[in-house]
Structure 1
Amino acid sequence: MWLTAEQALEKLGTKPQTLYANVSRGRIRAKPDAADVRRSLYNAADVMRLAERNAGRRKTETVAADTIQWGDPVLPSAISTIVDGRLYYRGRDAAVWAEHASLEETAALLWSSAAVETAPAAISEGVPSLGQAFLLLGQRATRDLPTLGRSPKVLKIEAQDVLSTVAGALAPGSTSLPLHQRLAMSWHRPDAADCIRRALVLLADHELNASTFATRVTASSGATLSAAVLSGLSTLTGPLHGGAWQGVASLIEEVKAVGAGVAVRKALAEGRSLAAFGHPLYPDGDIRAKALVSRFNMPASYAELAATGEELVGEGVNVDFALTAISAAFDLPENAPLVLFALARSVGWLAHAMEQVESGHLIRPRARYTGPAIEATLKL
């Protein structure tokens, strides 16, 4: 069942901008109205779920379902959190930390470890390769020892080795320079090194996102650290996670062709999600994006989109926009946003994998059955 904008707004009790923001965040599905392509229709079930949530009338099973989808915390972690629109790494403001820290220093902070160093890459030349990262992690996943029964001290040593494996694929080079400099050199863009450093630090962890949850589930089984990181990397590639930069890049192409105003209005009228704007955990704007976009000269098309989107959508740009803008500003390879994301988040995945192992708990949620009626069975 689908609702008009007027019907949806009546049930939600919100302003049109809030409705559009929920569509752009993926909370409410929308489609063009066949009777009038200038209008959109909104999924009634999505609207009612949000209306009930706002009114505090959720049933127990609804609470459980919403917990999995941007809901309440489901497991304890001391690694990172988001409070009042700020991201914190073990109690430290990540945006402030990113002013000076490297990814290696961030790893030491998140792992509660001494200094973290990565070995120089075995490949002295080449370009960052996600495929190579998958290959090397896959080889390690069946070769390394399981985490079960091993001490935190030993796992921290192994975590450095796993990070070196990922870095060898994503920041190739035989130098022992910090990872942000290695990556800048592999792209032949030394002037991008500081922006790369900031991005790597700000992307190192982000609480219990999809890839981190996948990592923790894998680690909870006692699997190898490399297998846990491989789970995270696989999940990261999805278009609703680390692959969201592609939606931003597509929108930018539209902006270049018809202008930001036309492009954004068209997307909203068609009920399309706008990957460049908003984040459910940052109602006042993605602090990571704010910390990044002020550090380089944004290309004209990106600046136009940012200003227009904030006016029409009512949301600021997010970190996916910032990464794509950095790539354009420094003429980095097309997949640079995902490479940056993967290298940085490997640090967080390893932190969460080790924390999960230390907890000693297997993550095994239950499913709410929605299939055909259960047939009667004669008890013997």
Structure 2
Amino acid sequence: MLDLTSAEEASGRLGISRASLYAYVSRGLIRSFASPHDPRQKLYSLEDVTALAERKARFRRPAAAAATALDWGLPVLETSITQIKDGHLYYRELDAIRLAETATLEETALLLIGGLDRAAFQAPSPLVRNVVGTLPGPAFGPYDFVTQAVRLLSAPVPMEARAAEVATILRLVTAAGSGADPGAEPIHQHLAAAWRAPRAADAIRRALVLSADHELSASAFAVRVTASTGTSLRNAVIAGLAALSGPHHGGMIERVRTFLEAPRAAEAPGFRHRLYPDGDPRAPALLERLPLLASDATTLQAVESATGDRPSLDAALVMLERAYGLPAGASFALFAIGRTAGWLAHAIEQRSQATLIRPRARYVLAEENPS
């Protein structure tokens, strides 16, 4: 249950005027809700108010601010791509959950990036066909998938127009997980056929769209730092893949799979998200239509009953994989392929700003090794 407080108390805790409080709400820093007793009255998230008060206190001390700004701190970059607000996820002002009802990944990429000719996705790419022709087969899991995707993206190819370049990169990353050239076929249909799971096509489509972007995640930040140097879109996506493979990011999916295979009450990875106190909305959008394994349905109920935690997208992706009998590790491939659309949007937006991301470090003396 979310703790709420009045405007008077919130303003007092923060030491600001009512007008400043409303400005914080409009910027998405504090969530507001209608009072259950008086719909005309607004109440404010006590968690958000307390967190903002702590941040304001830290930022009055420059050393402390420098040490904590990048640890789930205040926004450090401006973007028009994705917003997380009041428990909702928006792609370019559109509700991502609603978008996932019908949109394809290609349509989502066009939305996130903007200004591209959709015809690039309507014809096969000879460049992709040539590069993918030597693949030994699909690759799954953080290490094998990323290794294969990086090899494909590193192949020398001629320069392309922006829309064609985006389509090529998205198809090359897809090929890492399918082992074949997607051609002009919609990516979700291509994956369903490659993985011999035609019944999973629509679930795969929704999973790709829901995975497409998530604001300034660790991998998106890596992409933006890399893109800010002026390097190619391919190299920026490679940086995102490397960051995604870590156990605290996309590698969380492997921890979820291990847990679902042998659930333990004391540990439930993938069942909470710090940006969604009331639950990750992407998970139910994917889970509600899956033919879940009975054991996974039982685990969902058991974890929520024991901890109150609800599944994140990581857990939902693994349950999709298990529900349709997809190859082990296909859930990571889905996440990476979908997220490539967002990485491309971040790289292109960052390059348009023509500024180098170069934060300063705070030097501290290393502790001496004990003798």
TM norm structure 2? 0.75
Partner of 1:293: 287
Change (3 A) 1:223 1:97: same
Q: Is the 8 A contact 2:137 2:180 kept in 1?
A: no
Partner of 2:344: 350
Q: Is the 8 A contact 2:223 2:346 kept in 1?
A: yes
Partner of 1:119: 124
Change (3 A) 1:156 1:62: farther
Change (3 A) 1:312 1:62: farther
Q: Is the 8 A contact 1:172 1:182 kept in 2?
A: no
Partner of 2:38: none
Matched ranges for 1:146-295 at <5 A: 154-174=161-181, 175-255=183-263, 263-264=264-265, 266-267=266-267, 274-295=268-289
Matched ranges for 1:22-61 at <5 A: 53=51, 56=54, 57-58=57-58, 59-61=61-63
For residue 87 of structure 1, give the secondary structure of its aligned residue in structure 2. strand
Once residues 83 and 124 of structure 2 are traced to their aligned partners in structure 1, the CA distance between those partners, rounded to angstroms, is 30
Once residues 330 and 294 of structure 2 are traced to their aligned partners in structure 1, the CA distance between those partners, rounded to angstroms, is 20
Once residues 350 and 83 of structure 1 are traced to their aligned partners in structure 2, the CA distance between those partners, rounded to angstroms, is 22
Q: Deviations over 1:56-82 (max 9, x none)?
A: 243433334333121111010001110
**Percent of matched pairs sharing the same residue:** 43
Once residues 81 and 320 of structure 1 are traced to their aligned partners in structure 2, the CA distance between those partners, rounded to angstroms, is 19
Q: Deviations over 1:354-379 (max 9, x none)?
A: 00000001000111112249xxxxxx
Query: Which amino acid in the other structure matches residue 119 of structure 1?
Result: P
Once residues 86 and 167 of structure 2 are traced to their aligned partners in structure 1, the CA distance between those partners, rounded to angstroms, is 32
Once residues 177 and 124 of structure 2 are traced to their aligned partners in structure 1, the CA distance between those partners, rounded to angstroms, is 13
Partner of 2:138: 128
Range moving further from structure 2, 160-169 or 191-200: 160-169
For residue 343 of structure 1, give the secondary structure of its aligned residue in structure 2. helix
Matched ranges for 1:48-127 at <5 A: 53=51, 56=54, 57-58=57-58, 59-112=61-114, 113-115=116-118, 116-117=120-121, 119=124, 122=129, 123=132, 127=137
* Aligned-residue offset at 1:133: 1.1
Once residues 106 and 282 of structure 2 are traced to their aligned partners in structure 1, the CA distance between those partners, rounded to angstroms, is 19
Once residues 78 and 113 of structure 2 are traced to their aligned partners in structure 1, the CA distance between those partners, rounded to angstroms, is 16
Query: Which amino acid in the other structure matches residue 68 of structure 2?
Result: D
Query: Which amino acid in the other structure matches residue 322 of structure 2?
Result: A
Q: Deviations over 1:138-158 (max 9, x none)?
A: 234xx677xxxxxxx943442
Partner of 2:30: none
Matched ranges for 1:1-16 at <5 A: none
* Aligned-residue offset at 1:298: 1.3
Q: Is the 8 A contact 1:289 1:321 kept in 2?
A: yes
Q: Deviations over 1:22-41 (max 9, x none)?
A: xxxxxxxxxxxxxxxxxxxx
Change (3 A) 1:55 1:90: closer
Query: Which amino acid in the other structure matches residue 78 of structure 2?
Result: P
Q: Is the 8 A contact 2:91 2:112 kept in 1?
A: yes
* Aligned-residue offset at 1:203: 0.4
Query: Which amino acid in the other structure matches residue 98 of structure 1?
Result: A
Q: Which has the higher contact order (CA 8 A, sep 6+)?
A: 1
Q: Is the 8 A contact 2:100 2:210 kept in 1?
A: yes
Once residues 169 and 302 of structure 1 are traced to their aligned partners in structure 2, the CA distance between those partners, rounded to angstroms, is 28
Change (3 A) 1:53 1:371: farther
* Aligned-residue offset at 1:177: 1.6
* Aligned-residue offset at 1:54: 7.5
Aligned length, in residue pairs: 301
Once residues 81 and 117 of structure 2 are traced to their aligned partners in structure 1, the CA distance between those partners, rounded to angstroms, is 16
TM norm structure 1? 0.74
Q: Is the 8 A contact 1:144 1:224 kept in 2?
A: no
Partner of 1:139: 155
Once residues 215 and 247 of structure 2 are traced to their aligned partners in structure 1, the CA distance between those partners, rounded to angstroms, is 19
**Structure 1 segments unaligned to the other structure (5+ residues):** 1-51, 146-152, 256-262, 268-273, 374-380
Range moving further from structure 2, 78-87 or 58-67: 58-67
Once residues 63 and 307 of structure 2 are traced to their aligned partners in structure 1, the CA distance between those partners, rounded to angstroms, is 32
Report the aligned-residue RMSD. 2.5
Query: Which amino acid in the other structure matches residue 102 of structure 1?
Result: T
Once residues 137 and 80 of structure 2 are traced to their aligned partners in structure 1, the CA distance between those partners, rounded to angstroms, is 35
For residue 81 of structure 1, give the secondary structure of its aligned residue in structure 2. strand
Q: Is the 8 A contact 1:155 1:354 kept in 2?
A: no
